[in-house]
């Protein structure tokens, strides 16, 4: 009976510990704000979008189209783009690239990052699944870190006759919360968010005004991970297992030792 109660208490503790972790890591949803209908032409003019938004833009074949979005620790962003082409065109190769806040190009784990549209095709679809964003990395590493990310969409090796033809693009960013399996010991002091302007303060000083978008629940910077929950639950289970093992080895009804002559 004691062992059954101990196991029941352990399962209850584990369930209560895991519930807050699931509540604290909601999946990103569409923003209530209006998605941009145009794209930037450089890193500095990139159009800001939130995760879950579907942004659109018009342009000409041969242009560089830029968007930016926030990605936090433990997220694995997926960038998808659809380019709608004019009725008459030659074979065109389109490419989507993603850069972090330091403007380092990030490799795609999988996805059709580059695709060639056959002559006369109405559209081409691209995708890039990034590696999981880490809370901290060595200075020499190229690991994705929390902060602003940039999307660049363009045609490569474009035929001369197709340059300048009107095109339209749709871009969407979604992210999967990986959680504890991607946790590391360490965190950045601040996310990699570029300053876009300066703000005057009362003491004649100024500070950088950072990128306008951030995750719905703010930047975590790696201070929390569900690995803490499972570590605590494991400690509780180990303690209960020790109590149960002691009760089994001691045995029921075993009299306590009484010193002779007492």
pLDDT digits (tens, 9 = 90+) for 204-232: 554 444 456 777 767 774 455 555 565 66
Listed ranges 19-28, 65-74, 136-145, 199-208; the one with the highest mean pLDDT = 65-74
Find which of 19-33, 146-160, 182-196 is predicted with most confidence, using mean pLDDT.
146-160
pLDDT for the residue numbered 231: 64
Q: Which long-range contacts (CB under 8 A, 24 or more apart) does 252-259 make?
A: none
pLDDT at 230: 58
Torsion angles phi and psi, residue 162, rounded to 5: -90, -10
pLDDT band at residue 15, thresholds of 50, 70 and 90?
very low
Asked if the model's pLDDT at residue 180 lies above 70, the reply is no
The token duo for 249 is 């080895």
Q: Which residue has the higher pLDDT, 27 or 103?
A: 103
Q: Which residue has the higher pLDDT, 252 or 138?
A: 138
The number of beta carbons lying within 10 Å of the beta carbon of residue 156 is 11
Please name which of 157, 85, 171 lies closest in space to residue 121, comparing C-alpha atoms: 85
Backbone phi and psi for residue 102, each to the nearest 5 degrees, phi listed first: -95, 10
Please count the helices (runs of H) and the strands (runs of E) in the chain: 2, 13
Q: If DSSP codes are grouped into helix, strand and coil, which group holds residue 180?
A: helix
Give pLDDT, residue 208.
Answer: 42
Query: Is residue 177 within 8 Å of 27, Cβ to Cβ?
Result: yes
Tell which wins on pLDDT, 235 or 164. 164
| pLDDT at residue number 251 | 62
**The predicted structure's pLDDT at residue 200:** 46
Which of 153, 122, 136 minimizes the C-alpha distance to 47?
Answer: 153
pLDDT band at 120 (very low <50, low <70, confident <90, very high): very high
Which pLDDT does position 22 carry in this prediction? 36
Cβ atoms of 100 and 145 within 8 Å: the answer is yes
* Mean pLDDT score of the chain: 77
pLDDT computed for residue 107 by the predictor: 93
Greatest mean pLDDT range, 86-95, 131-140, 189-198? 86-95
Element (H, E) at 10: helix 2-24
Question: Which token pair is 260?
Answer: 């002779």
What confidence category does residue 24 fall into, taking pLDDT thresholds of 50, 70 and 90?
very low
Residue 89 has pLDDT above 60, yes or no: yes
């Amino acid at each position: 009976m004691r062992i059954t109660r101990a196991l029941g208490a352990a399962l209850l503790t584990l369930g209560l510990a895991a519930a807050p972790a699931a509540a604290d890591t909601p999946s990103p949803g569409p923003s209530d704000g209006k998605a941009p209908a145009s794209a930037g032409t450089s890193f500095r003019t990139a159009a800001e979008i939130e995760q879950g938004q579907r942004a659109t833009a018009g342009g000409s074949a041969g242009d560089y189209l830029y968007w930016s979005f926030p990605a936090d620790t433990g997220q694995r962003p997926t960038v998808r783009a659809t380019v709608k082409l004019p009725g008459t065109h030659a074979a065109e190769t389109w490419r989507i690239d993603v850069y972090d806040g330091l403007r380092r190009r990030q490799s795609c784990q999988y996805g059709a990052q580059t695709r060639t549209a056959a002559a006369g095709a109405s559209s081409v679809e691209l995708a890039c699944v990034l590696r999981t964003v880490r809370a901290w990395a060595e200075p020499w590493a190229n690991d994705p870190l929390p902060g602003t990310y940039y999307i660049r969409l363009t045609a490569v090796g474009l035929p001369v006759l197709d340059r300048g033809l009107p095109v339209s693009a749709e871009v969407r960013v979604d992210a999967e919360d990986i959680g504890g399996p991607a946790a590391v010991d360490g965190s950045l002091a601040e996310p990699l968010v570029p300053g876009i302007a300066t703000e005057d303060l009362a003491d004649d000083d100024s500070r950088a005004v950072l990128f306008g978008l951030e995750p719905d629940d703010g930047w975590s910077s790696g201070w929390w991970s569900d690995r803490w929950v499972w570590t605590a639950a494991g400690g509780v289970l180990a303690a209960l297992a020790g109590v149960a093992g002691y009760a089994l080895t001691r045995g029921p009804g075993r009299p306590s030792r009484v010193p002779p002559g007492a």
